[in-house]
Structure 1
């Protein structure tokens, strides 16, 4: 069985949180969320981690998350997402400052990933079981192509008490394959206990166990070609816009709907945590403390 790679999307600065939250210490020894992700990935059998970062903070980031930090337990590589990293024939429109989105970030790793890989957001705490589930699936793919996967979470385990969230709401076939993924915004639990999203002023209810995507996908290397093809079309249609972005779920939906690929929806018992708002940090720190107290993690990850 092959050891899969973990691709960490860390180029975003997290404007709502107001800091480089990928490097914010939330553990007892200033461990970041990324540290717990890497620790869980190593335990799940991943052999390499690739960080997608920006040149503007590369020196600071690389100094913190060097291979030495992880004690040689996993190979580490860095790639860069910059506005000018575009397919031949395309240029950055004057005045554009916003990154091109998660699909573009993923594309940057194509030269260094040649095995099945999982993709995560740097600022999301996915839980050990999620890495175990997706790592086990990816390790058995061998040379297969167009056979992808994702870990779906129950919606109730992904909410914030401090504001609304956006989630990719999934429709899953009886065989466990993804049929569609629709982005729903302004999701929250309201006073009567229901979970709703606000659509044109109306409160549309969602079930507690609705499967949602948290951008924990698993792909084989052939996906990079699909990602670039989609991005070229995106640039032809939206490349002169200053704020449009190209997202992984859009590519996944296209591949599924046209029958090019299938995507297995994996279920996990893990509880997702993230720092969407500043006020989310304290509950996350407490959750990590509780996990350490229960024996799920050592107090110092890398000693």
Structure 2
């Protein structure tokens, strides 16, 4: 078994509902979604976790979340700051928005070694997803062979509004393209509206989507270090531009630098995109506790 690291993108955590103090527990003993993510990952064979956070949130994050798990798994912190830029670049005046998910990964280059998974901090991915990703990282991953966990779009929706999802195109279980889209169920049809302004389109319930759950090796850092300056050259004056993982992956696939295997799962996603979603998440976790998927007191 290899050392496997779980990288959790948490720099934006809590921003939706007003800060870390407002992150609401969803488990019977006040567990957060992030607690279940770490538990599931450890059970699947991950032995390290790296939290990507804002430096200003370090104390409250450690107090609220970090200390709950640091006696269960090896914990490190990486800061995603606006001034974490390639040599020769400075933060443009008025820039407030973080540089994006691919920049978050780049910030880990001195901390993360070997094989690692990337997830969002506020998404409940399901135990099966960590198992298939750990299996891939242990047995198949290489410097030009990465993976993503692919969900059925119908398993990633909320009844309370639209969500952002990466609609995947694939060939023989390998990704060819991701189209970032706003997705919503309207009159029993699933409608996708690409964020780049292209027309909306319908997809079947089983269409594969990305939920930002990826498996990489540390070779990705070499590419990001070379590529990020190019992004800055083209976009630094756009104060809302973002350097995003799906864009980087698509670019690497086009250049035939990597293959991105799509690991299919029937797992159901849960998350609190809207405040009204919380009840469904709580009910789902209570049911998983009842059926012994989780202990009532998560770590036992």
Q: Deviation digits for residues 35-74 of structure 1, max 9, x if unmatched?
A: 00000001000010000001121101112333x5336332
Q: Deviation digits for residues 58-102 of structure 1, max 9, x if unmatched?
A: 101112333x53363321100100111111011000111111111
- Deviation of 1:207 after TM superposition, in Å, equals 0.8
Counterpart position of 2:108: 109
Shifted more, 14-23 versus 265-274: the winner is 14-23
Counterpart position of 1:171: 169
Counterpart position of 2:85: 86
SS at match of 1:255: helix
Shifted more, 145-154 versus 9-18: the winner is 9-18
Counterpart position of 2:257: 260
Unpaired runs of 5+ in structure 1?
A: none
d(CA) in 1 for partners of 2:21, 2:104 = 18
**Where do residues 20-99 of structure 1 align in structure 2 (5 Å cutoff)?**
20=20, 23-66=23-66, 69-70=68-69, 72-99=71-98
Counterpart position of 2:149: 151
- Deviation of 1:283 after TM superposition, in Å, equals 0.9
RMSD: 1.8
- Deviation of 1:197 after TM superposition, in Å, equals 2.1
Q: How many residues align?
A: 298
**Closer, same or farther: CA 298–96 of 1 in aligned 2, 3 Å:** same
Q: Deviation digits for residues 5-62 of structure 1, max 9, x if unmatched?
A: 1000000045444443894311111111110000000100001000000112110111
Matched, 1:5 2:2: no
d(CA) in 1 for partners of 2:295, 2:251 = 42
Is the CA contact 1:23–1:61 (under 8 Å) kept in the aligned structure 2?
no
Is the CA contact 2:116–2:217 (under 8 Å) kept in the aligned structure 1?
yes
TM-score by length of 2: 0.94
Q: Deviation digits for residues 222-254 of structure 1, max 9, x if unmatched?
A: 001112222111100001221111100100000
Is the CA contact 2:101–2:243 (under 8 Å) kept in the aligned structure 1?
yes
Aligned with residue 194 of structure 1, among 189, 207, 222 = 189
Unpaired runs of 5+ in structure 2?
A: none
d(CA) in 2 for partners of 1:274, 1:120 = 13
